[in-house]
Structure 1
Amino acid sequence: MDQQSPYEIRPVRAEEWRKVKELRLAALQDPLAHLAFLETTEEALARPDVFWKDRAARGSAGLVSRQFVAVGAGDAWVGTVTGIVEDAGGLDFFGNPVEERQIQLVGVYVRPEHRGTGLLGGLFRDAVDWATGLGVRRVRLFVHEDNGRAAAAYRKLGFVPSGVRVVGDHGNELEYVRKDTGSGR
């Protein structure tokens, strides 16, 4: 933690899988979780420990993905975001071709009592800085068309709708891109 922020933002460590699991379960309890995440609490609870160990290990490695966590007072994990590098020529999660190397931000969550503090901006900054170090210029995320709370938060951080719309399991997902990262498609 620095003197200006009550949070330490850092990548997760492989051995922190229990905290990764606990924060994900908290996120899945959010009233808008059905629009924001691709799994339910029941599905997450049914996953074996090896799943969570692998997830934490991948999120700490930083090769094609990296999970960042915000740690508050008392070592409490209060927010997270994961960046996933998508390479040109591949397919994204929705099966669409990736035209240029980019990062997709996923698993975005801030505990309710820490929202509106600037924490989300710090999490995104660190994820984007990590991706920039890998040569990525385009930053994107998807938000369900009915998740106005998330869309408003992303707009405050410089994201704008790109016009790309995909159909997910629960309806239309809208792509948002950072307007100041180069391509801005």
Structure 2
Amino acid sequence: MADPQTEQPSPGTETVAEPVEAPSFEIRPATPEDAPFMVQCHIECLAETYAHIMPPAFAQMRRDRFRQEVQETLDELLEMQQALTAGRAPIRSHWLAVADDGPLAGEVLGAVASGEGMAPWERVYFSNPEPPVSFNLDHLYTRAVAHGSGMGQALLDVALAAPSGGGRAAWLWILRDNPRAEAFYRRNGFVPDGLEVGCGPSWFDRPMFRMWRPSQP
């Protein structure tokens, strides 16, 4: 897998992407070695997903924090690895969607994380009431090239799989004015719970709202 830092275009250059057919993919648990590739994927997913509602500075801020984001992601993946080795549930479980054929083979094209309770950022920056259920879909992103491939559904299914079968009851946050994502979550049984707040300065104070669903058969 290529180093995401060395794959960046040089300043002042412009790349023109050729049309790429949605690739086939595999879903697998993330490992600590995946940290830089997860972060690169996450940054590009954010840039693509929110281009219609965020200024260019939004993605650039995250590119500027690449190394810090890698370290934070590595810490989470190490905790996950240690928890699984010890036979306990991680604070957050992470899975990746990796292209397994074609010109993108080996590239991380999607990621999802889930776990019990609020994420640390929410407890630090907000005083929100507890959600209707305890299990949190922390984030789910796919690259635009994978849209329509079933990748998002596959990631959601593995992240919210209930031990006894079916899908877990869960909750999530979603930005307002993100109709593609909202329709996806509604198809999977999620509905708004009535709570809406601003995201804060690093997300340009965009409004986000909380959705939840009961357990699924």
**Structure 1 residue 41, shift from structure 2 partner:** 1.9
User: Structure 1 pair 145/100, CA: closer, same or farther in 2 (3 Å)?
Assistant: closer
User: Structure 1 pair 96/67, CA: closer, same or farther in 2 (3 Å)?
Assistant: same
Distance 1:91 1:21 in 2: 17
Return the match for 1:95 from 113, 116, 127.
127
User: Structure 1 pair 31/70, CA: closer, same or farther in 2 (3 Å)?
Assistant: closer
| Bigger share in strand | 1
Return the match for 2:34 from 8, 12, 16.
16
Query: 1:20 touches 1:56 (CA, 8 Å); kept in 2?
Result: no
| One-letter identity of the residue aligned with 2:65 | A
Structure number with bigger Rg: 2
Q: Which runs of 5+ in 1 are unaligned?
A: none
Query: 2:133 touches 2:170 (CA, 8 Å); kept in 1?
Result: no
- Pairing of 1:119-158 with structure 2 (within 5 A): 119-129=151-161, 132-133=162-163, 137-158=168-189
Range with greater deviation from structure 2 (64-73 or 154-163) = 154-163
Counterpart in the other structure of 1:65: 92
**Structure 1 residue 118, shift from structure 2 partner:** 1.6
Query: 1:159 touches 1:178 (CA, 8 Å); kept in 2?
Result: yes
Counterpart in the other structure of 1:53: 74
| One-letter identity of the residue aligned with 1:163 | G
Distance 1:146 1:59 in 2: 33
The alignment's C-alpha RMSD in Å is: 3.4
Query: 1:86 touches 1:104 (CA, 8 Å); kept in 2?
Result: yes
**Identity across aligned pairs (percent)?**
23
**Structure 1 residue 85, shift from structure 2 partner:** 1.3
> What SS class does the counterpart of residue 20 from structure 1 fall into?
helix
Query: 2:110 touches 2:141 (CA, 8 Å); kept in 1?
Result: yes
User: Structure 1 pair 76/43, CA: closer, same or farther in 2 (3 Å)?
Assistant: same
Return the match for 2:147 from 102, 111, 115.
115
Query: 1:105 touches 1:140 (CA, 8 Å); kept in 2?
Result: yes
**Structure 1 residue 59, shift from structure 2 partner:** 5.0
Return the match for 1:171 from 167, 190, 206.
206
Distance 1:7 1:139 in 2: 25
Distance 2:181 2:70 in 1: 30
Distance 1:91 1:138 in 2: 22
| One-letter identity of the residue aligned with 2:30 | V
Count of equivalent residues: 172
Query: 2:175 touches 2:208 (CA, 8 Å); kept in 1?
Result: yes
Show CA shifts across 1:52-83 (max 9, x none). 42133245555111111111222221111111
Counterpart in the other structure of 1:83: 114
